Amino acid sequence: MRADLRQAILSLIRSRSFALIAILTLALGIGSATAIFTVVDAVLLQPLGYKDPERIVSIGTKSSDTGRATTRITGGDLVDLRNENALFEAFSSYQGGEVGVQLAGRAEFAGTYFVNGAFFPVFGVKPVAGRLFDDSEAGRTAIISEA
């Protein structure tokens, strides 16, 4: 066994380019496999960061003209669903976008989500500091996230 190991090491020393290519190939293969597993683990295998994710659903609409389905819903439809609700425990809504912000004389766009007051209770989210808002404060408050 020692003789075989010694001969393998000597062969790799004599053929340095082959050894370098073999080591780089192994490093790239192991690195890419690790990166892919990390993403799959974080996105698919780990539980979502809120309580009872199997009880949360997304409601959308389907156009009667085109038959196209979308996850968007109008504010009026949301109010109707909330008022005629016999099935759901709570309703919330959100809309993503960007807003311009200026800090220290430099303007940038920041990713935003416009949510209603029920959004955080639906997901069981509590603030690290400060407090959340409710529907009576609509349009006048902001929650800043580290995400």
Q: How far apart are CA 115 and CA 6, in angstroms?
A: 67
- pLDDT per position as a tens digit, 42-92: 888 888 777 788 888 888 888 788 888 887 888 788 888 888 888 888 888
Average pLDDT value over all residues in the chain: 86
The span from the CA of 92 to the CA of 115, in Å, is 8
Structure tokens at 74: 């109008």
